[in-house]
Structure 1
Amino acid sequence: MELGLTTYKKGEFIETDTGNKVSRRSLISGSQNIVLGGKTVVHSRCTIRGDLRRAGPTHQAAVLIGRFCSLGEASVLRPPYKTYKGVFSYYPLKIGDHVDIGENTIVEAASIGSYVKIGKNCIIGRFAIIKECCLIEDNTVIAPNTVVPPFSVVAGGPPAQVVARLPESTQDVFEAQSKDKYAKFVPA
């Protein structure tokens, strides 16, 4: 399926040196704790909570996002948290390359592998791990601490279920689609 051009008003997006396109209407909290790998699009009303992080001498970024990712309108990305022995802590949220997150989706996962598509209106629970080459259907709820195996198609929930397997060519297909989507996201 060939994608058409998606245009945006040039003044609405900030383009970084590494090709990231970030909507001025997105909410980025704690930007010093967010790493965008490059050529990632952050759409309007997307919220990224980099201000929620683990304090300490081994400080690392709260949210790490790979290359050629698309973060849908009104999606929310926030690091997972837990209380251990009375201490409340946030942990990093790591997202691989070529990941497409749909509109109105909430992500509190520990990690999302590369070559993953997450549909619209999904909830990815705290500390969930989505391995590489997965497709999460629209309106799916993945319970906290769930591990989604590679090459899975997941739907439903809670709890979501693996409903199909993806072919070995998934990585190549998702990579080509994410690069095409980025290339066709152009100013009007």
Structure 2
Amino acid sequence: MQEEVEMILDICREKMEHAIAHLEKELVHIRAGKASPRMLDSVMVEYYGSMVPVAQVSNINTPDARTIAIQPWEKNMIRPIEKAIINSNLGFNPDNNGEFIRINVPAPTEQRRKNMVKTVNHEGEVAKVSLRSARKDANDNLKKLLKDGLSEDLEKDAEDKVQGMVNDFSKRVEKMLDDKNVEILTI
């Protein structure tokens, strides 16, 4: 029975880690006015018949806080990369000089910043719902084990461990949200 309890706890922890990873991924795409190569993670470009991330066909760096520079490894990839960035709906206007592509990341307006904070908080709430869902699944599985002969003490200890995980992961979510909101509101 102890092995099943440990398995339930591991599955719960894995679901919570997944919720945190998803939140991190979503927060990266909310741009706070600071240029980051990860802003282009979702941009796919056609390369010899298959769609690949732009980072696999070029060097992407940030020479300063407001600029992203993309230098394709092959000169003939400049136009497809530029077209992919325009079609990605990220709101970027790439500047192509024949050698590399430069993207100026505009500073968001006050209204845009407020909307980004709302979006960040929404994503945080989605992550917290995922944490609570993982807790519910784990507790339901523990109740089933209780019916199958698990002692009440072991079940109660396992529920306490699950709640401890929820508390720890919730603190991580709150810290991530606070950090992102500070980043967004800092001009």
More strand by percentage: 1
TM-score range, shorter chain: under 0.3
TM-score (normalised: structure 2): 0.26
> Relative contact order, CA 8 A, sep 6+: which one is greater?
2
| Higher Rg of the two aligned structures | 2
TM-score (normalised: structure 1): 0.26
